[in-house]
Structure 1
Amino acid sequence: MILIIGAGLSGLLIGYHLKKQDIPFKILEARDRVGGRINTIYGPNYPPIEMGATWFTHQHKQLLSLLNELEIEYFEQFMDRTVFFQAGSTSKTQTIEIPPQAPSFRISGGTAHLIDTLVKKLDKNDILLNQTVKHLKFKDNSVQVIAEEVIEGTAVVLAIPPKLWANRITFKPELPINLSEIAKQTHTWMEDSIKVALSYTTPFWQENNKPGTLFSQSGPITEFYDHCNHKRSKYALCGFMNSALKTLTASQRKSLVIEQITAVFGLKAKDFITYEECVWSNDVNTFEPSEVYPHQNNGNPIFRDAFFDGKVFISSSEAASEFPGYMEGAIRSANAIAKKIKER
């Protein structure tokens, strides 16, 4: 049996591949939900709100292939040619025209629609939630995973960010020193991000012929985009907040956001249905403090090796040889590891 640590996109996709090959497996997830850094908020009166992974492009061919295989639709992100721009805290907000952009896309029904579809391809007992893995013990012909439960298998897949397993899981015998050091110095995507979104009963910006796009060098919001659903029947604006604001309280951040969007979009911006934010550094299953620079060691070749005589495989977005950090990277990594497991 293959033991997969992590029920994010990479871990679930490996499970999906193994299921098709009738290779037994279990997925252990520390959270009380699946999806990892894919986190979509749903409600009756607003569109799917993405607090995690959101966009992809034509370059992300293995993601597009998976969506087609699973018959999941996607749509082009609406992008204004004229956008709001704030050069600094003392500068007036301008409207400027930007050159044509390569299209980006979002998954119809929310990014979590991909996660939910993969989960439906598995059996309920294939995934164990609330299982924080603390120890891995290797024997001659097996590996023992010690979490809230103790499970033994033939091999294990580390499908969580490298920094997490390197710092939080005890390996017996210990990890090779070079692998451990590189993993501890690998940047985790989203770990410093703050996503913010506000939903509305109408697309007031569109009705007033104003852009739904904002780029700001002063913040608190640094990027803001039209986040309406694919039918454009439910309405929202969504983007990123300056990560330095994670030291403030939620109410302080909210006040700053409302002040900014009112100044930029007008008084109607105050008439929101919901305000949502996600400070990813507050997520213990994403954030691990370290002194690393953005993208450091993402895609490092060492992550594509097998360890402990083929009992340990590494699969995550950060481990991918191409597009590390993106959903495409998570998928490429999962596809490669599933192929290795099948061959073995």
Structure 2
Amino acid sequence: MKTIHSKYVIVGAGLSGLTTAYSLIENGEEDFIILEARDRIGGRILTKDGIDLGATWFQDHHVNLSKLLDTLSIHKFEQYSKGKSVLVYNTMAPAHYFESQHNGPSAYRIADGSIAVINKLANKLEGKIHLKSIVTSINECDDKISLTTNGKTYFAEKSIITLPPKLASEMDFSPELPKSLLQTMKFTHTWMSNAIKVGILFNKPFWKEKDFSGTVIGQVGSVIELYDHCDHKENTFALMGFINEGLRETKAKIRQEKVLDYLTKYLGEEVKSYTAYFEKDWSKDPQTSCENLKSVYMSPQYGNEIYNEWHCNGKLLFSGTETSPMYGGYLDGAVYSGLNAAKKLLNKELV
């Protein structure tokens, strides 16, 4: 088995892991490797043909992400919400239409899709990211920590694990992790793991022409939330939202028909003139979910203080949005945890 030595090993090339890596580079540390199980970077950020099928929105109080966007010269724009929105109480009753209220905090999207942040971070990390590298075991050995993947063993002084804690708990650790930590990991809900996202492209934003916002909130029916997803340049026209989890095991073709029929009922026949249709069921993604999941309707508890501690005698730290005490389960939580991990590795404030 091939062995590779590096000062630091970061597991996961999502927003948290790449933020840590970028921060290391910016602070003069280049002796590290990133191991990513997927054949792509981004983790739960996934943008396809301009549609964000993963993490999408943020707000003004998400200052860590906002600062990172400014640093990377990436623009934001406000989520479109003008016009009539649809509220569905009962699929057998007429829809209830309402005007969106603008007295709450604004929701923003990232220009060119959330993947723009990932790509900008990765541009600084050429040669550092190893794709298709699934870490199966982590072992403490004397003054090093070793991570075994498919055919390779990596040795490092310290390692940062940015996977969802529930997923990371499936790895083999030697010595075993403390029971209190392992139990916390197993019971930390994985952000996005229940979501079935849908994105639909069109030749024109017909809903705007009909004075609809594109927002459909369904307490019942095939789609539980839908929003306008046109790009900031107004040359990509799309709707994006979340499919009812009750359709998870429905055949894909039938599920698509149900979604389109449902939206046609409330937005009009123009729905069926779509040009492309995309779905992403995150519960079926083995690098996000490790078991059959039931919905978590109460607010998940993120940022357990146990994640802020070093383990394996100061060689192993868990990171990622679920570990963040600030806005866990959001893009901002991923950035915060990534910055925090870099500070802990360097043992100093970042420049």
In the superposition, the TM-score normalised over structure 1's length comes to 0.95
Q: Which residue of 2 aligns with 1:156?
A: 159
User: How far is the alpha carbon of 1:221 from its aligned partner?
Assistant: 0.8
* Alignment match of 1:29 (pick from 25, 36, 54): 36
Q: Secondary structure at the match of 2:82?
A: coil
User: How far is the alpha carbon of 1:273 from its aligned partner?
Assistant: 0.5
Instruction: Flag the 1:295–1:139 CA change in 2: closer, same or farther, 3 A.
Output: farther
User: How far is the alpha carbon of 1:93 from its aligned partner?
Assistant: 1.3
Q: Which residue of 2 aligns with 1:5?
A: 11
Q: Which residue of 2 aligns with 1:315?
A: 319
Report the Cα distance in structure 1 between the residues aligned to 2:99 and 2:184, rounded to whole angstroms. 43
Q: How does 1:160-179 map to 2 (within 5 A)?
A: 160-167=163-170, 169-179=171-181
Q: Which residue of 2 aligns with 1:212?
A: 214
Corresponding letter in the other structure for 2:166: K
Q: Which residue of 1 aligns with 2:234?
A: 232
User: How far is the alpha carbon of 1:80 from its aligned partner?
Assistant: 2.8
Q: Which residue of 1 aligns with 2:223?
A: 221
Q: Which region of structure 1 is more displaced relative to structure 2, 91-100 or 60-69?
A: 91-100
Q: Which residue of 2 aligns with 1:110?
A: 113
* Kept after mapping to 2: 8 A contact 1:80/1:213: no
Unaligned runs of 5+ in 1: 43-47
Residue 16 (str. 1) matches residue 11 (str. 2): no
Q: Which region of structure 1 is more displaced relative to structure 2, 19-28 or 64-73?
A: 19-28
Report the Cα distance in structure 1 between the residues aligned to 2:313 and 2:213, rounded to whole angstroms. 56
CA deviations on 1:50-76 (whole Å, 9 max, x unpaired) are 100000000100100000011111111
* Alignment match of 1:197 (pick from 190, 196, 199): 199
Report the Cα distance in structure 1 between the residues aligned to 2:201 and 2:294, rounded to whole angstroms. 36
Q: How does 1:136-151 map to 2 (within 5 A)?
A: 136-148=138-150, 149-151=152-154
Report the Cα distance in structure 2 between the residues aligned to 1:258 and 1:218, rounded to whole angstroms. 15
* Alignment match of 2:255 (pick from 253, 264, 283): 253
Report the Cα distance in structure 2 between the residues aligned to 1:193 and 1:286, rounded to whole angstroms. 11
Q: Which residue of 1 aligns with 2:4?
A: none
Q: Which residue of 2 aligns with 1:45?
A: none
User: How far is the alpha carbon of 1:89 from its aligned partner?
Assistant: 2.3
Q: Which region of structure 1 is more displaced relative to structure 2, 151-160 or 98-107?
A: 98-107
In percent, how many aligned pairs have the same letter?
35
* Kept after mapping to 1: 8 A contact 2:37/2:132: yes
Q: Secondary structure at the match of 1:211?
A: strand
Report the Cα distance in structure 1 between the residues aligned to 2:294 and 2:220, rounded to whole angstroms. 25
* Kept after mapping to 2: 8 A contact 1:185/1:297: no
Q: Which region of structure 1 is more displaced relative to structure 2, 309-318 or 19-28?
A: 19-28
Q: Aligned residues, how many? A: 337
CA deviations on 1:110-145 (whole Å, 9 max, x unpaired) are 10000000000112x200000110011111210111
User: How far is the alpha carbon of 1:291 from its aligned partner?
Assistant: 7.0
Aligned-CA RMSD value: 1.4
Corresponding letter in the other structure for 1:114: V
Residue 38 (str. 1) matches residue 45 (str. 2): yes
Report the Cα distance in structure 2 between the residues aligned to 1:291 and 1:183, rounded to whole angstroms. 17
User: How far is the alpha carbon of 1:296 from its aligned partner?
Assistant: 3.8
Residue 334 (str. 1) matches residue 338 (str. 2): yes
Instruction: Flag the 1:8–1:262 CA change in 2: closer, same or farther, 3 A.
Output: same
* Kept after mapping to 1: 8 A contact 2:213/2:227: no
Q: Which residue of 1 aligns with 2:284?
A: 282
Corresponding letter in the other structure for 1:40: T
Report the Cα distance in structure 2 between the residues aligned to 1:296 and 1:56, rounded to whole angstroms. 18
Report the Cα distance in structure 1 between the residues aligned to 2:306 and 2:213, rounded to whole angstroms. 45
CA deviations on 1:124-175 (whole Å, 9 max, x unpaired) are x2000001100111112101110022111111101110001112x1011010
CA deviations on 1:211-270 (whole Å, 9 max, x unpaired) are 311111112111111100001122001111112211111111101011111111111110
CA deviations on 1:163-201 (whole Å, 9 max, x unpaired) are 01112x101101011000110011000000011111100
* Kept after mapping to 1: 8 A contact 2:194/2:294: no
User: How far is the alpha carbon of 1:81 from its aligned partner?
Assistant: 5.0
User: How far is the alpha carbon of 1:85 from its aligned partner?
Assistant: 1.2
Report the Cα distance in structure 2 between the residues aligned to 1:87 and 1:247, rounded to whole angstroms. 24
Report the Cα distance in structure 2 between the residues aligned to 1:280 and 1:5, rounded to whole angstroms. 20
* Kept after mapping to 2: 8 A contact 1:182/1:297: no
Unaligned runs of 5+ in 2: 1-6
Report the Cα distance in structure 1 between the residues aligned to 2:267 and 2:197, rounded to whole angstroms. 19
Corresponding letter in the other structure for 2:48: I
Report the Cα distance in structure 1 between the residues aligned to 2:149 and 2:284, rounded to whole angstroms. 22
Report the Cα distance in structure 2 between the residues aligned to 1:224 and 1:295, rounded to whole angstroms. 21
* Kept after mapping to 2: 8 A contact 1:81/1:99: no
